[in-house]
Amino acid sequence: MTDLAQGLRLRDDFPGLLTGSGGDWHYLDSAATAQKPNAVIDAIARAYGPDYATVHRGVYERSANMTLAYEAARRKVAGFIGAASDSEIVYVRGATEGINLVAHCWAGTQLGAGDRILLSTLEHHSNIVPWQIVAEKVGAHIDVVPLTADGRIDLDAMAAMITPAHKMVALAHVSNVLGSLLDCRRAADIAHGVGAKILIDGCQAVPRIAVDVQALDCDFYVFSAHKLYGPTGIGVLWARGQLLDAMPPYQGGGSMIDKVTFEKTTYAPAPTRFEAGTPHIAGVVGLSAAIDYVQAIGLDAIHAHECALVGKARAALEGLNSIRVFGPQDSAGILSFEVEGVHPHDVGTILDETGVAIRAGHHCAQPLMRHLGVEATARASFSLYSDDSDVDALVNGLERVRKIFG
């Protein structure tokens, strides 16, 4: 048992874990979306209740106070990921919108016919489809970095295949299927060696490992709040200031303007230029509370805790006949597997009957499924509120699956 598991009874902070099958529920789907602690729920309730007002536009006291909280959250996000300035933090609806923004506003204006984009085999659809859209629009081409035998992005292969024609590289920091961790700094060095920019999808990284975008030396970094124990509908795009300054707006509307006439509109500086309309105010407040919650526990402690649970689960599953486990031994918080002869949806349904919630499907990673030679996998994902009882329940549930299907 890790120090984290021996310490605070963190489950008690999460009301979503207190209900379920028979009152005993084991939530192992945090990679899809994390449960929310009371601290986040309370912050959102206050933001929609006694503190509620719009931001940036009101001259009355409550609006001014909400604006202060909104911009304080931007500074907190900047510190959380090691940004050089809070002006490099753009609020978006989630990582998906962040990637689409970069694809539209940077790649869509900087790439042309014959240029190339480099992705990897394990990317989430959100880090594939936006690049396909922009590639088709400008006449660029997409290349795909293969994986190592244990399911990591093969950086040796990346170094061998990248050329000066590659202008953008987009890779996942942690795979949402395999839990494999990317050496972002080496990937950035390879990309920058040919003059390419690199975007990192940090959705599965920020809830479980410390991130410093300056140390990683990437150019863009995106993540969603809801996987970080925060609310849905809010996320973050970080980009180097000079890149944001050179990018055109993503959407037009209120807030993102300098001056509007029917003849010409001029735009506000970054990040305001990319935040058209009334923002998700309560979502930003909830994100701020989620960062406070995670930092009070410590990302190093969270990562060690999750790795210990994944190690225990992997050892138990590998000891069961007819179960195949995917990904590297040191996967970060995520464990995908298949039960021979049983569709993952059936696995998930039977586990649900035993009070265990997992993910079953292609996990928005169909190219990776084809690489693995399967249509889908079952996936158990751990978090700071997971404990040994979750692993035991998973293993016992899989024993039931095997008995039912012989």
| Residue pLDDT, tens place only, 282-341 | 999 999 999 999 999 999 999 999 999 999 999 999 999 899 999 999 999 999 999 999
Query: Which H helix or E strand runs over 300?
Result: helix 299-318
Output the pLDDT for position 406: 77
Supply the residues annotated as catalytic.
364
**Domain enclosing residue 119, as ranges:** 43-295
Cβ atoms within 10 Å of 266's Cβ, excluding its own: 9
> For the domain that residue 345 is a member of, what is the CATH number?
3.90.1150.10
* 36 occurs within a structural domain: no
pLDDT digits (tens, 9 = 90+) for 249-266: 999 999 999 999 999 999
- Residues 306, 212 share a domain: no
Q: Is the bond into 271 cis (omega within 30 degrees of 0)?
A: yes
286 and 340 co-located in one domain: no
Instruction: Give the length of the chain.
Output: 406
Asked if residue 330 and residue 317 are part of one domain, the reply reads: yes
pLDDT at 21: 47
Distance separating alpha carbons of residues 288 and 75, to the nearest angstrom: 10
Those residues whose C-beta lies under 8 Å from the C-beta of residue 119, and which sit 6 or more positions away, are 127, 128, 131, 142, 143, 144, 145, 169, 170, 171
> Which of 275, 295, 315 lies at the terminal end of a domain, its last residue?
295
Which residue carries 């959250």 as its tokens? 73
Q: How far apart are CA 67 and CA 71, in angstroms?
A: 6
Point out the domain boundary residue: 295, 313, 332: 295
What's the rounded Cα separation, in Å, for the pair 122 and 187?
15
Angle at 112 between CA 110 and CA 118, to 5 degrees: 80
Cα 88 from Cα 402, distance rounded (Å):
51
| Integer Cα distance of 236 and 170 in angstroms | 16
Structural domain total, the chain:
2
Confidence (pLDDT) at 3? 57
The number of beta carbons lying within 10 Å of the beta carbon of residue 157 is 15
Residue that terminates a domain, selected from 267, 295, 323: 295
Location of structure tokens 């014959």:
114
CA 85 to chain centre: 21
**Contact residues for 149 (Cβ-Cβ < 8 A; gap 6+):** none
Q: How far is CA 136 from the centre of its chain?
A: 26
Residue 199: per-residue pLDDT: 99
Asked whether the beta carbons of 174 and 200 are under 8 A apart, the reply is no
CATH classification at residue 256: 3.40.640.10
Residue 32 contacts residue 359 (beta carbons within 8 Å): yes
Residues of the chain below pLDDT 70: 1-8, 19-23
